[in-house]
Amino acid sequence: MRLASITLHRLRVPLVRPFETSFGRQTVRLVLLVHVRTADGGEGWGECVAGEGPLYSSEYVDGCEHVMRHYLGPALLAAFEVTAENLHTLLGFVVGHRMAKAALEAAVLDAQLRASATSFVDHLGHAMAEPGPLAAWVDCGVSVGISPDLDTLLAEVSGYVAAGYRRIKLKIKPGWDLEPVAAVRALLGSNALLQVDANTAYGLGDLDRLRELDAFDLVLIEQPFVEEDIAAHVLLSRHIQTPVCLDESIVSAAVATDALDRGATSVINVKPGRVGGYRESVLIHDLCRAQGVPVWCGGMLETGIGRAANVALAALPGFTLPGDTSASDRYFAEDLVEEPFVLGQGEHRGQLRVPTGPGIGVTVREDLVREWAVAAPVVLRR
């Protein structure tokens, strides 16, 4: 394909309730969308997962917009042929900026797949190293933020259990860990899937405290230490029974291989934005699947645009644990797509249906893209 334009839309989408992690509290999602138009009249959408500030990772919305405007966008617009396959070669001259590259990859891939009437899930299935079954429905978990108090936490968790979620993830930090985990384990009973995510809030002085979490039979503990410190995660993995799962640290298939080889992690959270896109996500899936390492799909409070692509990724056979791919109403009263994600009922209780239409398989509500805009769209042309 030849690209005719890349348009960047910046929107503010209110959350249904505040979301607090060890690094901050948000009440609104600032969303950066990429809309590509091709020279032959096609189009595609991608969602950038960077936050408003550089708190989860070094990337943030202003930085992503800047690098797309001045480096990545012009490189794609100057190329005679752009595909999701050659995009990473075209953009390889820019170091890092994986979330920005992933959003461009998603938009190009959406356009490419719409043009060939292929769904995201079928495309990702073909991209796998070894063939395997693709799920029509995926198991959903929900990520529960840090609460002002235990009663509020238990009320929120009870609501998600009633909605059907198949796994609960609690955000933890020093001072909000053993007590809330004990209370939620007591509420859920011993069979329910429960895990925790520290978003790098701990240090090596906390090894013994973290070992106390072993009492609660958790599925995993996610990213207790800073992203660069693979060695600290090796020490923790040897110190506790609970499986350690890296999120922030895993920025590529190469890092995933290294972290697994060193015994730093025994489960991997795959977020396409963090690793630079869906192509890299499939590579991580494949290497984990080959080694029998479970993977699951993380979330970054995506609107229906990013969520649709993530749900397709979670349909690959190596995704054996429920993801953070919750329903649209977990975060948003109204979603940006005409087909919001709703949890299934009956045998599909706690699952989301994998979109099967062309591309991401959902229709973007351009009325809301305009209504929720907080800046004029930035249009880059050839």
Residues with catalytic roles: 171, 271
Of 1 and 259, CB closest to ligand SMG: 259
Determine which residue in the list 247, 280, 286, 335 makes contact with Mg ion, applying CB under 5 A. 247
Say which residues have a Cβ less than 8 Å from residue 190's Cβ, sequence separation at least 6. Answer: 217
Piece of 78-86, 122-130, 296-304, 351-359 that binds ligand SMG (CB under 6 A): 296-304
Q: Which does 198 bind (CB under 5 to 8 A by kind): Mg ion, ligand SMG, none?
A: none
Contact in structure between 376 and 9 (CB atoms under 8 Å): no
Tokens of 294: 């479970």
Build a one-symbol-per-residue string for 345-374: x at contacts with ligand SMG by CB under 6 A, - elsewhere: ------------------------------
Piece of 84-92, 150-158, 277-285, 293-301 that binds ligand SMG (CB under 6 A): 293-301
197 binds Mg ion (CB under 5 A): yes
> At its nearest, how many Å lie between Mg ion and the CB of residue 284?
15
Q: By CB under 6 A, what part of segment 57-76 binds ligand SMG?
A: none
Q: For residue 266, with 0-12 CB atoms within 10 Å meaning exposed, 13-18 middle and 19 or more buried, which class applies?
A: middle
Piece of 106-114, 172-180, 244-252, 343-351 that binds Mg ion (CB under 5 A): 244-252
> At its nearest, how many Å lie between ligand SMG and the CB of residue 331?
7
Of 45 and 332, CB closest to ligand SMG: 332
Of 43 and 324, CB closest to ligand SMG: 324
Q: Which does 46 bind (CB under 5 to 8 A by kind): ligand SMG, Mg ion, none?
A: none
Determine which residue in the list 22, 112, 199, 328 makes contact with ligand SMG, applying CB under 6 A. 199
Q: By CB under 5 A, what part of segment 211-230 binds Mg ion?
A: 222
Say which residues have a Cβ less than 8 Å from residue 163's Cβ, sequence separation at least 6. Answer: 327, 343, 350
First to last CA, the chain: 13
H helix runs in 128-246, sequence order: 150-163, 178-188, 207-211, 230-239
43 binds Mg ion (CB under 5 A): no
> At its nearest, how many Å lie between ligand SMG and the CB of residue 301?
4
Determine which residue in the list 47, 110, 324, 335 makes contact with ligand SMG, applying CB under 6 A. 324
What distance in Å separates the CA atoms of residue 194 and residue 196, rounded to the nearest whole number?
7
Q: Which does 56 bind (CB under 5 to 8 A by kind): Mg ion, ligand SMG, none?
A: ligand SMG
What distance in Å separates the CA atoms of residue 298 and residue 272, rounded to the nearest whole number?
8
> At its nearest, how many Å lie between Mg ion and the CB of residue 368?
28
> At its nearest, how many Å lie between Mg ion and the CB of residue 169?
8
Tokens of 234: 């090796």
Contact in structure between 247 and 56 (CB atoms under 8 Å): no
Contact in structure between 352 and 175 (CB atoms under 8 Å): no
Determine which residue in the list 46, 51, 272, 355 makes contact with ligand SMG, applying CB under 6 A. 51
Closest CA to 364 of 339, 344, 341: 339
> At its nearest, how many Å lie between ligand SMG and the CB of residue 329?
12
What distance in Å separates the CA atoms of residue 214 and residue 282, rounded to the nearest whole number?
31
Determine which residue in the list 8, 20, 21, 210 makes contact with ligand SMG, applying CB under 6 A. 21
Angle at which helix 253-261 crosses helix 230-239, to 10 degrees, equals 40
Q: Which DSSP string do the residues of 12-67 spell out, in sequence order?
A: EEEEEEEEEETTEEEEEEEEEEEEEEETTS-EEEEEE--BSSTTSSS-BHHHHHHH
Q: Which does 324 bind (CB under 5 to 8 A by kind): Mg ion, ligand SMG, none?
A: ligand SMG
Point out the residue whose Cβ comes nearest to Mg ion.
Answer: 247
290-323 as b/e: b if 16+ CB within 10 A: eeebbbbbbbbbbbbbbbbbbbbbbbbebbebbb
* Strand partners for 169: 143, 195
Of 3 and 201, CB closest to Mg ion: 201
110 binds ligand SMG (CB under 6 A): no
* Residues in touch with ligand SMG (CB under 6 A): 21, 51, 56, 143, 197, 199, 247, 298-301, 324, 326
